């Protein structure tokens, strides 16, 4: 039986128990490591009001809710859960601070490090399309299920790393890079609706974005072939496309990304450690 004074954080290293204080009188399991870049999933009673830092979260008919932790979050998250007809219960979720790596990538074509002004409009359009694809807030609850790696291979890039491109520092890397042979199939890690299927974005080349419900999306970059269309519904394990090296890439690989709306999260935290 659950101790009602604890919130559960389920991470790659096992089940972590975080004492929450005597005021906690309702079970509020939160799956996901309490760390920067994590996707946190919880379940309460249907009809409950759930707030994270004062922001009201959607609660499904099954009681599921979800939210993300910013990559640079340093303070505890204030979680409030109020079941119908009951008083609100408050929790403080301490967030572990990560030490991110530095990654140096050389021999990139200069146009991908400092783009020419002539492509500014194209890049802006790409970003608008990506933002729109990630803004969907559908009722599906695939996000609450178990995710799988879309492809297996060698991890060559990690979330949060500072990127030095051709000697110039750029924004952090928000994806997981998995090197695999060109043409390797990419499979849907969980059920989803396809929200983007673009063959030639400037930086990311062949790009697919999947909507797993409640603002949770995953992105697949640098594909050599796309096997899905916008609006298509996928089951876990369905073919998305093939590994490639389109866009800003030095070799064939998948850059896999996870978002909760605009919050860029660490996809490696929602799957088992790659064997």
- Has residue 9 got a pLDDT over 80? no
* φ, ψ of residue 117 in degrees (nearest 5): -60, -25
Q: What was the pLDDT predicted at 165?
A: 66
The answer to whether the beta carbons of residues 243 and 223 sit under 8 Å apart is: yes
What is the pTM assigned to this prediction?
Answer: 0.85
Tens-place pLDDT, residues 226-261: 999 999 999 999 999 999 999 988 899 999 999 999
Percent of the chain with pLDDT over 90: 73
Average pLDDT over residues 126-144: 98
Q: What letter does residue 26 receive in the DSSP assignment?
A: S
Average pLDDT over every residue of 50-77: 97
- Do the Cβ atoms of 209 and 254 come closer than 8 Å? no
pLDDT above 50 (res 72) = yes
DSSP states of 220-265: EEEESEE---TT-EE-TT-EEEE-B--SS-SSSEEEEEEEETTEEE
Task: Please report which helix (H) or strand (E) contains residue 168, including its range.
Answer: strand 168-170
Q: Spell out the domains of the chain, with CATH numbers in brackets.
A: 6-93 (2.60.40), 102-270 (2.70.70.10)
């Amino acid at each position: 039986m659950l101790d009602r004074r604890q919130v559960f954080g389920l991470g790659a290293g096992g089940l972590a128990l975080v004492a929450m204080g005597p005021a906690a009188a309702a079970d509020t399991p939160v799956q996901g490591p309490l760390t920067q870049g994590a996707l946190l999933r919880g379940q309460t009673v249907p009809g409950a009001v759930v707030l994270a830092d004062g922001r009201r979260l959607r609660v499904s008919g099954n009681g599921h809710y979800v939210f993300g932790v910013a990559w640079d979050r340093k303070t505890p998250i204030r979680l409030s859960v109020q079941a119908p007809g009951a008083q609100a219960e408050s929790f403080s979720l301490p967030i572990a601070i990560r030490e991110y790596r530095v990654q140096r990538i050389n021999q990139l074509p200069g146009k991908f490090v400092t783009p020419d002004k002539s492509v500014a409009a194209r890049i802006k359009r790409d970003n608008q399309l990506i933002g729109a694809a990630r803004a969907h807030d559908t009722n599906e609850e695939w996000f609450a299920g178990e995710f799988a790696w879309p492809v297996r291979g060698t991890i060559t890039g990690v979330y949060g790393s500072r990127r030095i491109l051709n000697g110039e520092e750029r924004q952090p890397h928000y994806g997981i890079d998995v090197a695999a042979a060109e043409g390797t199939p990419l499979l849907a890690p969980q059920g989803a609706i396809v929200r983007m299927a673009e063959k030639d974005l400037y930086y990311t080349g062949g790009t697919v974005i999947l909507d797993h419900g409640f603002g949770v999306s995953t992105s697949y970059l640098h594909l050599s072939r796309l096997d899905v269309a916008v609006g298509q519904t996928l089951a876990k394990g369905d073919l998305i496309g093939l590994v490639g090296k389109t866009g800003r890439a030095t070799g064939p690989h998948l850059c896999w990304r996870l978002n909760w709306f605009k919050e860029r999260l660490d996809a490696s935290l929602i799957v088992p450690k790659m064997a």
